[in-house]
Amino acid sequence: MATPSQAIVSRADRITMSELKEENMYPADIHPESGCRLPPPERDQLDAETQKIYDVHMKPGGHSIRGLRGPGGIQLHSPELSKTRRPLGRYLRFEAGFPDRVREVAILITARCCDCQFEWAAHEHEAQKAGVPELTIEAIKHNRSLDGLDADDALIITLGRQIFRARKVTSETYAQCQKLFGNRALVDLVALMGNYASTAALLTAFDMQLDPGVEPPLPV
């Protein structure tokens, strides 16, 4: 089974629209190069500042997991949005001070609650690299009981489930989160979840596809 690729595919490796249609890989309204309903952004149509963002997405090993084939490419169709969201995302992911494990558990529970296959596929491996136990990942993926999980992992998952599913965070959950994270970090944690929920909305509206040959990782 193929794994999610890094960045947008090179021109030599791109699959043509006719090939995709013949194998029924993508719906008819999906652009084969972007993997979504929008075409890839054109660098020469962007201003100098946004071209720098484009170039960062094209750079291997940058902060963008999927390069232009993902939310970064979608957002470049609205240059001002891209300029605004990129520093926010950078702060929440890399500058807010979260341990990698905390960050990735928060992102995974958000992706799971939004049933966002692409977001999950992009971050499951990141969570594994961050040391999130498979037991935690599987509990999130399959909506399982949190019994036996690390207490901090379980608390983040509970917070996410209450925000996105129950639409109500209980006083008990809030008190536990406030004690663990403190005011500033808790605000940032919820903002991180909200940021990835908005990313999931973009991916859903523009029907971002998994790479050809990759099976949907989430049971829905």
Pick from 102, 210, 203, 75: which is nearest to 157 by CA?
Answer: 102
H/E/C letters for each residue in 141-176? HCCCCCCCCCHHHHHHHHHHHHHHHHCCCCHHHHHH
Q: Tell me the percentage of the chain whose pLDDT exceeds 70.
A: 87
Pull the structure tokens for residue 205. Answer: 């509206």
AA letter at 185: A
CA angle 95, 98, 104 (to 5 degrees): 110
pLDDT score at 20:
46
Per-residue pLDDT at 84:
95
- Given a cut of 60, whether residue 49 has pLDDT beyond it is yes
**Which residues lie closer than 8 Å to 48 by C-beta, 6 or more apart?**
none
pLDDT of residue 16: 52
State the CB neighbour count (10 A cutoff) for residue 138: 10
pLDDT at 21: 45
**Range of weakest confidence among 33-37, 56-60, 73-77, 186-190:** 56-60
- Domains annotated on the chain, with CATH: 11-95 (no CATH), 100-204 (1.20.1290.10)
Query: Comparing C-alpha atoms, which of 97, 122, 99 is closest to residue 110?
Result: 122
Find the mean pLDDT for residues 180-186: 98
∠ CA 15-21-27, nearest 5°, is: 100
